[in-house]
Structure 1
């Protein structure tokens, strides 16, 4: 059970005070947005307005096919919605699919001067997913990116601010040698540090890779964009069937972000239903042709993670370094999440079988509750399978805890000092011990209202 940050995080928080002044003017918070088919302008407007309510600064538009009509149509709808609502977007080109910069440069040139395009120091912001090992025929990846991306744009009078995810460059993390070998970047983002690896076993997420990247980036005069995510569960085919720890991963990462004070934060993701870490709307058109994803994401709403993330974003931008400073906008805010299928399920009817990493999952009710600075004597009462299984003390700020779960229905109540119920949330789906259907390790996220 966890109701406070660890001593390690407290130490990092103290260290972060030394650097908060250097990055206070940055503090951009983005959400990774997987570009897919859209049903109409109303979907784009809904996404943009929901993101604004969270105080997000921009969507990082993951583009896999820069010329496909379904992609360019969605991008146009998003830019129109963003411009009308004073929101921002930037491109994150998916280099695990795209072969070379010349493939995406026409799309970038089309939008880089759009009023809705996100800029840093008046330079259009560009990111990637992977690409750190691609040389494009040059002597090194750095030379390839310089010649085929930066130099071509420079000849057109465009100076992009380049913050790629180069996790695939070949090193364990962004060490000092990385920044010597990749002067082409203005900063870096890590995707993989957002969760423990499957091979790590049953451990909490670590911020050690982020700390290394941040330290070396700043020593090189560069910036670091830290990833923040909830879980990664994928169950598509034999090569894409894994579970990377969820449970308390989201509030643990929130604490790590506050302690480290990175220059930017990227939430993974807004709408990637295929990896189960979506926090926003997942429009049916985007996965209409992928029944495997529909089978484990339809009916699994994650939007109430926004209730936890929105106050965090405001606190982070205001320089908060501890969970006690993450307070709700009203009397309280919170959510709980759980897997409706116990980890020991046989899943005998699922041809893909259990995901790799299933042993690292825990059968828990996971809770995040934000309380105001004046809060006192408030408790969380947790009922699982019809029985009260825990009564948890709270304190001002962001509290988080896990409680062992039982089969059946689930409920979490917020109880005032005088015994009255301030708020509650009830499960949307009962927990079962086995299934003859899909071996689904996705989460149900419940609003405590």
Structure 2
């Protein structure tokens, strides 16, 4: 067991909005949003309203196709929904798929003046996934991006605020040499720093790369966008079958964000069901042609994490530096999450077998509970397999704990000093020791309400 700590969703929108207005051009918190097919405007409106309710400033729209009708239709629906709900969007062009900036510049030009487009320093914000090794025929990647993005847009009077994810540039981290070699960027995002590497074993996520990047970015007059995520589990085919450790990754990253105070935060992700780190809605149209993804994401709701993230976003925007300052909007907030399959499962019926990195998983109930500043005497009761397996004390702020799990049903209760249950959550899926079906290392996330 590990413990540390130092049903008011109706209040989320108003409180988070006030914090956002107070820091409108600082400490933006975004969620990476995978653009996919949508069933209609209601889905876009729901996503935008849910994101705004927890205090997000914008979606970073991951665009893999800048011209296909399914993509441009979804983008238009999202911009319409954002404009109608006072929310913002910006593009994050997926350079693992797109060949060169000329393929997406028309789309960017079309929307960068939209009232719903996110601006920083009076400049349209734009990001990427990868692209740090692409030079587009120029003498270097920096020269390529300068020519094909910055200079190409300058001829139209557009000066983008460019904060890409260039993790693929070839270095170990974003150090002083990176910023010397890439003056084209206005800042950077690190996607890969969000989780431990597989070769790190059962170690918790480290913020060492973020620390280097923040220092080097600020020394160069640039910004750093820090990633915040839960886990990464992909189980699609022989080349895409891995598990990057989750467990308490999400609350541990929250603590690191508060300690390091990055310029921006990007939550990975709102809706990427293929990598299992979604916190929002995953619409069926987006994965209608992906039965492998459906097999490990359908029925695995992650929206319970929003109850933990909303108070964190408000705390971060208000300058909090410790998890003891992340307090709920009401009497409490919380969630717990667990895998429905023990790591020792053979998964004999799954042709892909266990994901690489599964040896780093732990059979745990992972818990995050937020309590007010004046809290005393509240305990967390953890039930696994029908039995009370642990009673944990709490403190004010964000409490995180991980308790060994048993097969069967799971339940977590919050009990006050008078012995009254003030909040609880129960599993909807039992934990199994083995399976003849999909070797699923995705999480069930349960809201403590």
Question: Any residues of structure 2 matched to 1:141-290 within 5 Å, and which?
Answer: 141-290=141-290
Task: Give the CA deviation at 1:335.
Answer: 0.4
C-alpha distance in structure 2 between counterparts of 1:52 and 1:374, whole Å: 28
Does residue 1:411 correspond to 2:411, yes or no?
Answer: yes
Alignment partner of 2:2: what SS? coil
C-alpha distance in structure 2 between counterparts of 1:69 and 1:126, whole Å: 22
The TM-score, its normalising length taken from structure 1, stands at 0.96
How many residues align? The count is 433
C-alpha distance in structure 2 between counterparts of 1:339 and 1:4, whole Å: 22
C-alpha distance in structure 1 between counterparts of 2:147 and 2:78, whole Å: 30
C-alpha distance in structure 1 between counterparts of 2:238 and 2:312, whole Å: 37
Question: Any residues of structure 2 matched to 1:243-392 within 5 Å, and which?
Answer: 243-392=243-392
C-alpha distance in structure 1 between counterparts of 2:407 and 2:201, whole Å: 25
Instruction: Name the structure 2 match of 1:44.
Output: 44
Instruction: Name the structure 1 match of 2:12.
Output: none
Question: Any residues of structure 2 matched to 1:91-102 within 5 Å, and which?
Answer: 91-102=91-102
Task: Give the CA deviation at 1:3.
Answer: 2.7
CA contact (8 A) 1:5 1:255 kept: no
C-alpha distance in structure 1 between counterparts of 2:408 and 2:389, whole Å: 13
**What do residues 221-279 of structure 1 show as CA deviations (whole Å, max 9, x unaligned)?**
00000000000000000000000000000000000000000000000000000000000
- Runs of 4+ residues deviating >3 angstroms: none
The TM-score, its normalising length taken from structure 2, stands at 0.96
C-alpha distance in structure 2 between counterparts of 1:24 and 1:213, whole Å: 24
Structure 2 residue runs of 5 or longer lacking an equivalent are 7-22
Alignment partner of 1:184: what SS? coil
Alignment partner of 2:3: what SS? coil
C-alpha distance in structure 2 between counterparts of 1:153 and 1:379, whole Å: 57
C-alpha distance in structure 2 between counterparts of 1:134 and 1:336, whole Å: 41
C-alpha distance in structure 1 between counterparts of 2:81 and 2:65, whole Å: 21
Alignment partner of 2:303: what SS? coil
CA contact (8 A) 1:336 1:412 kept: yes
Task: Give the CA deviation at 1:24.
Answer: 9.8
CA contact (8 A) 2:5 2:398 kept: no
**What do residues 308-347 of structure 1 show as CA deviations (whole Å, max 9, x unaligned)?**
0000000000000000110000100000000010000000
Task: Give the CA deviation at 1:25.
Answer: 5.5
CA contact (8 A) 2:39 2:285 kept: yes
CA contact (8 A) 1:226 1:262 kept: yes
Task: Give the CA deviation at 1:386.
Answer: 1.1
Question: Any residues of structure 2 matched to 1:12-161 within 5 Å, and which?
Answer: 26-161=26-161
CA contact (8 A) 1:24 1:319 kept: no
CA contact (8 A) 1:24 1:317 kept: no
Alignment partner of 1:321: what SS? coil
